[in-house]
């Protein structure tokens, strides 16, 4: 990460510390439970968009992407999207992603510290082979955080994999292999921080569950 990127990232975090909802971070995925969901409900929340959700959230504070194929398909479209967002959200991934640098935003590239669990070192992450796992590890580095709420993290493969349709390029058994990594996160959560799973029918059972609308209302 060069000095300009680092300053953009640190300025973004500093700004969010002053927001009313800054102690709670909503990580928003693309599970089918969000079909027909009104993303404007999250307008006044601190939100981190995963992959294609960046095109649906009205004003995300952060953005995390993972999949190399997704990045190759989207980096030009993504550049256009970031010209529409004010203020520009911070963006992050891990350092093995191809570096096509768009001109309208900077990317924080974390180093991979392994697959399972939480990496507390500032510039390292554990990936869990899953974008939500990656986003949780990155969000836990925000020093003022007390709570993460998962929205649209279904981890199930039914008729459609995503709320906007399907992607046949993925292995249908992928979620089954990734689920145990969330259990490891739960066991390693720092004291005073909780993760709430606000996803109807989510396959992740280790985190406290709550109705989605109730979580949005409370936090």
Q: Would you state the pLDDT for residue 187? A: 95
DSSP assigned state of 162: B
Q: Would you state the pLDDT for residue 172? A: 57
Q: Would you state the pLDDT for residue 169? A: 54
Contact 98, 72 (CB under 8 A): yes
CATH number assigned to the domain comprising residue 189 = 3.90.1480
In the three-class reduction of DSSP (H, G, I as helix; E, B as strand; rest coil), residue 26 is classed as: strand
Q: Would you state the pLDDT for residue 19? A: 34
Q: Distances in Å between the alpha carbon of 198 and those of 8, 12, 24, 208?
A: 31, 26, 13, 8
The rounded average pLDDT for each run of 10 residues, N- to C-terminus, in the chain (219 residues) is: 59 48 85 91 93 92 83 82 79 68 66 92 90 93 88 80 64 74 94 92 92 95
Which positions ≥6 away from 62 have C-beta within 8 Å? 12, 25, 47, 48, 49, 89, 90, 91, 92, 138, 139
Cα(132)–Cα(152) distance, rounded to whole angstroms? 10
Strand arrangement of the beta sheet that strand 24-28 belongs to: 124-126, 107-114, 90-94, 62-64, 46-50, 24-28, 147-151, 194-197, 208-209
Counting the structural domains of the chain, the total is 1
pTM of the model: 0.85
H helices then E strands: how many in the chain?
Answer: 5, 9
Contact 31, 156 (CB under 8 A): yes
Q: Would you state the pLDDT for residue 137? A: 94
Domain region containing 30: 3-218
Q: Would you state the pLDDT for residue 114? A: 92
Q: Would you state the pLDDT for residue 208? A: 94
């Amino acid at each position: 990460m060069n000095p300009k990127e680092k300053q953009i990232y640190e300025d973004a975090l500093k700004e969010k510390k002053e927001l009313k909802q800054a102690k709670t971070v909503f990580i928003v995925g693309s599970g089918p439970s969000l079909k027909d969901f009104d993303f404007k409900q999250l307008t006044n929340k601190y939100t981190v968009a995963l992959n294609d959700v960046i095109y649906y959230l009205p004003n995300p504070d952060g953005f995390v992407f993972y999949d190399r194929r997704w990045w190759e398909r989207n980096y030009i479209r993504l550049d256009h999207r970031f010209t529409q967002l004010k203020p520009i959200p911070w963006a992050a991934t891990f350092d093995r992603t191809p570096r096509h640098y768009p001109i309208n935003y900077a990317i924080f590239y974390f180093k991979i510290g392994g697959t399972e669990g939480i990496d507390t070192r500032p510039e390292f992450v554990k990936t869990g082979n899953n974008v939500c796992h990656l986003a949780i590890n990155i969000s836990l580095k925000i020093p003022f955080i007390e709570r993460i709420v998962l929205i649209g993290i279904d981890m199930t493969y039914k008729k459609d994999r995503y709320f906007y349709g399907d992607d046949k390029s993925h292995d249908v058994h992928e979620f089954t292999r990734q689920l145990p990594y969330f259990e490891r996160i739960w066991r390693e959560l720092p004291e005073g921080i909780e993760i709430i799973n606000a996803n109807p029918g989510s396959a992740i059972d280790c985190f406290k569950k709550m109705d989605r609308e109730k979580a949005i209302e409370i936090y």
